[in-house]
Structure 1
Amino acid sequence: MTGILEPDDVFAMPGIKHAAPKRGFPEHEIFPQVAYQIVHDELLLDGVARMNLATFCTTWVDDQARRLMNECLDKNIVDKDEYPQTAELEQRCVHMLADLWNSPDAMGTLGTSTTGSSEAAMLGGLAAKFRWRKRGGTGIPNFVCGPVQVCWEKFARYFDVEIRQIPLRGDRYTMNPDDIAAHCDENTIMVVPTFGQTFTGLFEDVEGISKALDELQATTGLDIPIHVDAASGGFLAPFCAPEICWDFRLPRVKSINASGHKTGLAPLGAGWAIWRTAEDLPEELIFNVDYLGGNMPTFNLNFSRPGGQAITQYYDFIRLGRVGYRNVQNAIYTAGQHLAKGLTESGPFELIHDSDPKHGITAVSWKVYGKSKLNLYDLSDRLRTRGWLIAAYPLPADREDVTIMRAVLRHGFTHDMADLLIADLNRSMKVLDKHPLKTSLTREDAGGFTHNANALVSTADLQAKVKAQLDGHAKSSSKKAKPAKSKSGKK
């Protein structure tokens, strides 16, 4: 035999004895198992996804869904000529969602999968802008909304549309129907209710907003459509609160966006944009592209993208059906209500949303009531020591004096996990009561959740800021203290 046999143990192989490349593109190759181990071990520093109660995104999928995703890694969903069955499954999902959301022409309307709800929201906004122009609209278009996810601020900036964001007032946490008329005019391309608000988890009153716009049209002649941002609620209310009228049953609702990868239970990278009828999607937004041997219509912001998410979404639809989705989502609501009950029994908390399916999504949000000195940023930071990621942030405009916490509960969150979280909350509050931080964390320390309530700041960053503040106090104190002099007058 010639040559030297490589060791069987990956931790004895060449390449792993050196630091991972960090500056510039690496020059030499290494064994794939070594490269895998390096990346795998670095990712151990990430949090546990299922304990991240700040994210809305799916963190649990079954083995069959994982297999389908793996089998579709090489499928480009845009190449409909090469992968016609992938395109067929995508269209089946579109028609199923149109049916679920009560389109008057479920099999004839138009829709598309997207990389997420943000892209779907922008497509809905663009369609509204094009319809407004076609009706003769001139000048700078605007849209009206309440407290929204940052994607709508991006839409406004990227596509030159004025965002008219109605501030909160009084004890209101959502946009109310009686706030609408004062913000609309002839350049309003749409009103955007959020059916599952990012900040609190509450549903906005789509039916009430539609009636308010009916009244506005009767008095002014303004015919303003609705686009519903149902990023999370679109896969909850149809199963758990079907009596809520928020979808295409309202003729004024022209389009809906939703996240398949949130409460739709699909893996990350699945969103949906659906129009009430084919006429509600302007032809100007549809491109017929000659690509890889075929002609295909497309109306996405992204072009090449993987097909596995849409395929796995179709798998979820046919595996669960209406009954299965109802069972799964009701189980999450029940776990959320158990958490809400535990919160009210544990501390000085006032619930904003208690995970009631008639009022909002599978989330619990709360604030501190009374004269309690409990700092929610401190509590959020303390819970991180046990692995829980729960956002603390101020409410939007005109209610920024109120700080809240919000836990988003997803498929895989159980009654037992709620008990574990409640126990850790109680332990954390006892520690903070016995050992309060000398410098409490502020909203700025915690990242300032003014726009995106999903953003999180690392524990290390928080600790560094607190340490810097404490060091600053110590230096300030030492400057004030004068050094003692010896009898000779020397320091």
Structure 2
Amino acid sequence: MALHKTERDRFADVYAAPLSRQPLPRFRMPQWSSDPREVYELVSSELALDGDAAQNLATFCTTWSEPEVHRLMNENIDKNMIDKDEYPRTAEIESRCVHILAHLWHAPHDHSAVGCSTTGSSEAAMLGGLALKRRWRERRIKAGLPADRPNLVCGPVQVCWEKFARYFDVELRQVPLEEGATGLRPHQLREHVDENTIGVVAILGVTFTCAYEPVAEIAAELDAVERDTGLDVPIHVDAASGGFVAPFVQPDLVWDFRLSRVASINASGHKYGLAPLGVGWIVWREPSCLPDELVFQVDYLGGSMPTFALNFSRPGSEVIAQYYTMLRLGRDGYRAVQQVCLDTAAYLADELAATGRFTLVHDGRGAVPGVSYTLADPAEPFSLYDLSDTLRMRGWQVPTYPLPAARDRTVVQRALIRHGVSRDRVSLLVADLRWALSRLTTGPASPARRTGFHH
């Protein structure tokens, strides 16, 4: 009887199987095991209801990877990045990536650079912030001064910095945007930094606008502050997006360790680093920038090894994918990919401007491949929020949000161009955007005028 049942089930249709005859469990684990093909098909079918990642212009994250990346990640799915004694070649690959980035970002001694991979640039940013706080505290204690009121100065930052400030008891002095600005302006620093400032965060690719903050000018202003007040305030560059863009397509832009005031840099490998989700990077200028008390020795995984990430066990496959991408593309390949993305962003910006309905905040040129814009006429019969909702009817995810404080809470919309977002796809977005504008201003077409064609 058991053999008969096995033969019968072998040819059963997935959607006639027991698990498919009821909603999938939501609150309790099922009592019985199920056929793997059946479970795969049902879970895959549900996930197909998610949005199309390629139409998600809200995310900075990689949504397309080569088949070889998938193969490498599948083959190394069992590698634990923390277990460097068991997986020494994976650890070596992580080290190579750190040295490659240190050289790319002009560290003074790239062969002895200190850094590590993380789960993303948010974790990397927090490590950079912790190092700033510890170094500041050491200086204060050594000088016999209070060390209980640290602050961090920044412009409009991603939420990870708000988390850092709250989690690690640091006052976040977020400088309001000035009228017409796309990020922190150097002259704003002087009234915000003081003896308790652990550092200034400069953003290479502002989340809200896509623009770069002027890191070199920020460093120059802090040099002037030190000359006038004696305050020596380091810079951490949050290059989550721009760290893998500027070195290739804006090589003359000085923002990295070429500036002696830059102590650390974080970047996201799974954004414009072109690696799949789950990898970020932090690199310090030199070993002295990473306090010894942040490094822990772990000896219960088979050998003694240092660790200074916030997370512990995590997959090594994303780090391997990052190294593959670095080898696969090289400098010329990264340059070609990022330049195509920039050209496509500029094309989108020009098309938006041609409608006459928008004022560009960032035109897709000279920074992160993306555009940000406001409504040219506040008296339009629709808002940018309405436009986002209407575009979603065609599958596009284009975010709308207010800029951080000041500028009277100006509302902007942003579209990011990533690897895999082709010119053709953006031309379809433009067509749908024009359709959305027409719908919002004149109303939906009557049934007689509607067309059945839709991409």
Q: State if a TM-score over 0.5 links the two structures.
A: yes
From 397, 402, 406, the counterpart of 1:394: 402
Tell whether the 8 Å contact from 1:79 to 1:291 is kept in structure 2 after alignment. no
1:53-100 CA-partner distances (Å, limit 9, x unpaired): 001100000011111111111000111111000000000000000000
The residue correspondences of 1:168-317 to structure 2 (distance < 5 A) are: 168-317=177-326
Q: Which 10-residue stretch deviates more, 107-116 or 342-351?
A: 342-351
State the secondary structure of the residue aligned to 1:393: strand
Whole-angstrom distance in 1 between the partners of 2:82 and 2:364:
38
Tell me, in whole angstroms, the C-alpha distance in 1 between the residues paired with 2:118 and 2:27.
Answer: 34
- Give unpaired runs (5+ residues) of structure 1: 437-491
1:191 CA drift (Å): 0.2
Offset from partner CA, 1:153-209 (integer Å, 9 cap, x none): 000000000000001122222110000010001010000011100000010010000
CA contact (8 A) 2:381 2:440 kept: no
The residue that corresponds to 2:139 in the other structure is 135
8 Å contact from structure 2 (residues 116, 283) kept in 1: yes
Rounded to whole Å, the distance in 2 between the matches of 1:269 and 1:255 is: 21
Residue 139 (structure 1) shift: 2.2
Give the whole-Å Cα distance in 1 for the aligned partners of 2:336 and 2:129. 33
Residue pair 2:381, 2:441 contacting (<8 A) in 1 also: no
* 1:407 counterpart = 2:411: no
Residue of structure 2 equivalent to 1:33 = 37
- Please, which moves more after superposition, 29-38 or 375-384? 29-38
SS at match of 1:291: coil
Picking from 369, 390, 393, the partner of 1:362 is: 369
Deviation readout 1:443-464 (Å, 9 max, x if unpaired): xxxxxxxxxxxxxxxxxxxxxx
Distance 1:281 1:125 in 2: 11
Contact 2:113–2:285 (8 Å) recurs in 1: yes
Report the alpha carbon displacement of residue 19 of structure 1 after superposing the two structures with TM.
1.6
- Contact residue 356 and residue 376 of structure 2 kept, 8 A: no
Of residues 103, 109, 123 in structure 2, which corresponds to 1:105? 109
* Deviation, structure 1 residue 373: 3.0
**Contact 1:256 1:275 (C-alpha < 8 Å) held by counterparts:** yes
Per the alignment, in what secondary structure is the counterpart of residue 302 of structure 1?
A: coil
Cα-to-partner distance string for 1:16-55 (whole Å, 9 max, x where unaligned): 1122111222222211111111111111210000110001
Letter paired with 1:27: Q
Matching residue of 1:56 = 60
For residue 83 of structure 2, the aligned residue among 62, 75, 79 is 79
Q: What are the Cα deviations for residues 333-355 of structure 1, in whole angstroms up to 9, with x where unaligned?
A: 01111111111112411111111
Aligned equivalent of 1:455: none
| Conserved 8 A contact 2:384-2:411 | yes
Q: Distance in 1 between matches of 2:292 and 2:422?
A: 46
Task: Name the counterpart of 1:15.
Answer: 19
Corresponding residue for 2:380? Answer: 372
Amino acid paired to 2:414: R
State the one-letter code of the partner of 1:208.
Answer: E
Paired AA for residue 292 in structure 2:
E
Counterpart residue number, 2:443: 435
CA RMSD of aligned residues (A): 1.2
SS in 1 for 2:372: strand
Give the corresponding residue for 1:421. Answer: 429
- 1:284-329 C-alpha deviation (Å, 9 max, x unpaired): 1111110321110000000000000111101111111111100010
Structure 1 window deviating more from structure 2 (164-173 vs 230-239): it is 164-173
Q: What SS does structure 2 have at the residue aligned with 1:181? A: coil
TM-score relative to the length of structure 1: 0.87
Query: Identity rate of aligned residues, in percent?
Result: 54
Q: What is the identity, as a one-letter code, of the residue corresponding to 1:146?
A: G
Q: Please list the CA deviations of residues 257-284 of structure 1 after superposition, one character each: whole Å capped at 9, or x if unmatched.
A: 0000000000000100000111111111
Under a length normalisation based on structure 2, what TM-score does the superposition of the two structures give? 0.94
Q: Residue 330 of structure 1 aligns to a residue in which SS?
A: helix
- Measure the CA separation in 2 of the matches of 1:418 and 1:347: 18
Bigger Rg, structure 1 or 2: 1
Does the 8 A contact of 1:368 with 1:374 survive in 2?
no
Residue 144 of structure 2 is matched in structure 1 by none
Letter in 2 for 1:144: V
